[in-house]
Amino acid sequence: MSTNIKLIAKNPVAYHNFNIEDKLEAGIVLTGTEIKSIRAGKVNLKDSFAGFKDGECYIYSMHISPYEHGNIFNKDPLRNRKLLLNKREINKLLGKVKQNGYSLVPISLYFKGSFVKLELGVGKGKKLYDKRQDIAKKDAEIRMRKAMRANEKT
C-alpha cells in the first residue's frame, strides 16, 4: 500500500541548532479551520518546540495562521497542540529528554495520506563552534562540486 507524503513545512533551524539523534512520527490534534489553513500552506515551525505536560506530549509556538473564511471558529494561532503518541513512545521520549541537554525539536510537518503528521527529533543543542564547523563543511562541499563541474566542462 503506497502512502503519498506531501511536505507542508520544514523547520529551517532544526539541523542548524541541534544534532538530531533520533526521529519519530507523531499525529497532531487540530480543528477544522486549522486543517484548512495548513492545506493552504500557512504554517510556521521556526520557533516551535515540543514538551511534556501531565504525561502527554504537546507542541508549543507552532504558528498556524487563521483561516480567512473561518469567522468565529478560528482558534488562537499559537495555541498548544497535543501530539498523538502511544504510552511507549511518550515514555521513550521522556527518558531521552530527561538526559542532560536533550530537547524535542519539530523537524517537519507533512500530509501522510489525508492525515497531518509531525516529525519530531530528539537532539542536543549545538555550540557556536559546532555551527561554524558545519557551515565550513557545507561551504567546502559546494566549492568541491563547483570545481568538479568546471572540470567536466573542459
**CATH code, 24:** 2.40.280.10
> Which range of residues forms the domain containing residue 56?
5-126
Overall number of domains in the chain: 1
Does 143 map to a domain?
Answer: no
Does 146 map to a domain?
Answer: no
Does 117 map to a domain?
Answer: yes
Does 68 map to a domain?
Answer: yes
Please state, rounded to an integer, the average pLDDT across all residues of the chain. Answer: 84
Does 21 map to a domain?
Answer: yes
Does 114 map to a domain?
Answer: yes
Stated pTM of the model: 0.74
The pLDDT score that the predictor gives to residue 3 is: 67
Residues of the chain with pLDDT under 70: 1-3, 70, 72-73, 154
20 neighbors 121 (Cβ within 8 angstroms): yes
Q: Classify the C-alpha dihedral 135-61-86-55 as positive or negative.
A: positive
The pLDDT score that the predictor gives to residue 28 is: 92
For residue 42, what is its C-alpha cell?
500557512
Does 116 map to a domain?
Answer: yes
* Cα distance between residue 33 and residue 60, in whole Å: 18
The pLDDT score that the predictor gives to residue 1 is: 45
In which region does residue 86 sit, left (phi positive, over 0), alpha (psi from -120 to 50) or beta (all else)?
beta
Does 19 map to a domain?
Answer: yes
